[in-house]
Structures are given as structure tokens and as C-alpha cells.
């Protein structure tokens, strides 16, 4: 794809700047950051992100939809 994402690097960074205040939601899921110390977990995350980018590599996919789809895939992988 035509994404400038350094998937071969060790660091994983996802930064989302949202100026809207998020309401408290009891259904919110967040990845336990300590899992990122596990190399197997970080490799799995990189592979899933790569698959999502490749599967949605077209001009019709908005960045928001791509982010939402990727988050849903990661949730499913780490909750199941």
C-alpha cells in the first residue's frame, strides 16, 4: 500500500487527538499497556495493523473508518 507506516520498527505509537470530551462509558475497552512489554503481543498487533491497512488500501476508506476497523479487530483478538 501507499502508507508511510514503519511497520518494521520496534516502537508502536498511536496518537489520537480528540478535542471533544469523552463521556464516561462503562463499555469502554482499553488494552492493558503492560501487554506491550511482551514481544509476541507487539508482533501480533503489528501484524493485525498491517493486515487492516492492506485490506483497506483504497481511496474510499476514510481515516476514521480505518482506525475504527483496526481497533475493532484488535479488541476481538485480545478479548477472545
**DSSP assignments along the chain, one per residue:** ------TTSS---------SPPPP-TT-----GGGGGSHHHHHHHHHHHHHHHHHT-STTS-HHHHHHHHHHHHHHHHH-
Per-residue pLDDT tens digits of the chain, which is 80 residues long: 445 544 444 455 555 555 555 555 555 667 778 888 889 989 999 999 899 888 887 878 888 888 888 888 888 888 76
Domain residue ranges in the chain? 1-80
Q: Is the pTM of this model over 0.85?
A: no
pLDDT score recorded for residue 9: 44
pLDDT score recorded for residue 54: 86
Amino acid at each position: 500500500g501507499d502508507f508511510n507506516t514503519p511497520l518494521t520498527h520496534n516502537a508502536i505509537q498511536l496518537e489520537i487527538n480528540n478535542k471533544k470530551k469523552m463521556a464516561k462509558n462503562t463499555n469502554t475497552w482499553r488494552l492493558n499497556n503492560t501487554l506491550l512489554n511482551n514481544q509476541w503481543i507487539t508482533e501480533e498487533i503489528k501484524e493485525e495493523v498491517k493486515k487492516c491497512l492492506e485490506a483497506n488500501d483504497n481511496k474510499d476508506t476514510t481515516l476514521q473508518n480505518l482506525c475504527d476497523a483496526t481497533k475493532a479487530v484488535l479488541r476481538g483478538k485480545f478479548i477472545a
